[in-house]
Structure 1
Amino acid sequence: MSRFFYKSEAPAAVSIVVEFYTAKDELKAAMVKLGELIGGAIAPMHDITSHFAGGVKLSSSRELDVHWCRPDDYGFRKLRTAAKPPKGTPKEVRVAIRNEHERLLNLWRENCPQRLCSHHYWERLGINTGNLMLSGGIKFELNGWAYFNLGFPIDEIAHLEKEASGKPSYGWIDGAVEILPSEYEAARALKLKAKETENA
């Protein structure tokens, strides 16, 4: 599949990309807090349109099965929608189990961060998210420039013409200029190096 690379220093475009990564950092921080309350690391998950909190890294002990689904291949469990006491559990113990499960559900509901919709930011940039879902896209900011790796070409003139005719276009990013893959990859490498230094 062909890839198309762009950069923009337009303040609006750069600001939107920075906002997305700021929101992503806030989501990660909220997941750390949730994990501390629950008692295990939260799996950061994402799908085609959003980022969200996944399962919890907990022991594989069968004792936890009453409240938690069995661990997945990575050791993460999901909280059951309802407690599952073993057969033959005395009535008074079942009541205690249900109360504990309600506490866990409330803890999760009150502290689980909302999904972060990545498509919201692409839409603000002016990109047609239908094409994004089909072909993908990556964005990041470095030294006051926003960089983009898209699976489809964007063209300001074509966008304006289709917009005027009422036809859908791939979209357009304010101030975007097409760049060589090598320039994009060099910027990406610098961004990754900066992140490694920041996390060291």
Structure 2
Amino acid sequence: MSNYMYKTTAPAVVAAAIAWEAKRKEWDAQRAKLGQVFGGAASPMRSGNRSYVGGVKLSDSRELDVHWCRPDQYGYRALRSSAKPAKGTPKEARAAQVAEHERLLALWKEHCPASIDMDEAWEAIGLNPGALWMCGGVFFELEGVVYLNLGLRLEDGHENIEGAAEILGSEFEAARQLVLGQRQAA
């Protein structure tokens, strides 16, 4: 598979990239807040171009199984849709577990961020997100320039991004390393 690198300074594309980065940062902050509420890191899950919270990293203690699914391979547990009391649990204890589960569900609904979809950003940049499903692509903004690494070639009459000029991989990688350095410093 080939990769094609581009850059553009078109105001609409730069604005779309900055807006996506702001949206992603806000979502990450809300995800971190959810983790604080439940006492563990909240999982950043992806499905295609959609990002969502799939669970919280909690102890794998069986005591939590009433309210939480068993941990996945990364240690994250998803909140059950309803309490699952163990067999033989007394009626009074079941009622308390159901009440506690309602409280947990209310907390989840209050603090869990809605999923975000990168397709909106790709459309604002000027690409049909469907064209990227088989080919893939990433973008980032650095000092008023949007850099793109796409698995498809921008051609006249097909996919087009305003002001995009093809660049060498070395230029893309140098910009990428600067952005990664800035993110680590923050």
TM-score in terms of structure 1 length: 0.90
Q: CA deviation at 1:44?
A: 1.1
Aligned: 1:128 with 2:132: no
- What is residue 64 of structure 2 aligned with on the other side? 64
8 Å contact 1:9–1:144 — kept in the other structure?
yes
Task: Find out whether 1:184 has 2:186 as its counterpart.
Answer: no
- Residue 106 of structure 1, CA deviation: 1.3
* Residues 113-134 of structure 1: CA deviation (Å, up to 9, x unaligned): 1111001110111102111011
Alpha-carbon separation, structure 1, partners of 2:60 and 2:30: 24
Q: Describe how 1:39-188 pairs up with structure 2 within 5 A.
A: 39-155=39-155, 158-159=156-157, 169=158, 171-188=159-176
Question: 1:54 Cα shift?
Answer: 1.9
Structure 1 residue ranges, 4+ long, deviating more than 4 angstroms after superposition? none
| Other-structure match for 1:164 | none
| Alignment-mate amino acid for residue 30 of structure 2 | A
Q: Equivalent residue of 1:188, what SS?
A: helix
Tell me, yes or no, if the aligned pair for 1:125 and 1:172 is still in contact at 8 Å: no
Give unmatched runs, 5+ long, in structure 1.
Answer: 160-168
Indicate the SS of the match to 1:135.
Answer: coil
Runs of 5+ unmatched residues, structure 2 = none
Query: By percentage of residues, which structure has more helix?
Result: 1
Q: Which amino acid aligns with 1:117?
A: D
Q: CA deviation at 1:189?
A: 1.0
When structure 1 is superposed on structure 2, of 145-154 and 121-130 the one drifting more is: 121-130
Query: How far is 1:109 from its partner?
Result: 1.3
Give 1:152's aligned amino acid.
Answer: L
The letter for the 2-side match of 1:100 is: E
Retained in 2: the 8 A contact 1:7–1:146?
A: yes
RMSD over aligned CA atoms reads 1.0
State the percentage of identical aligned residues: 50
Q: What secondary structure does 2:43 align onto?
A: strand
Aligned to 2:34: 34
Is the 1:9–1:145 Cα contact (8 Å) retained in structure 2? yes
Determine the structure 1 residue equivalent to 2:12: 12
Cα distance in 2 between the residues matched to 1:104 and 1:197: 35
Aligned match of 2:181: 193
TM-score, normalization by structure 2: 0.97
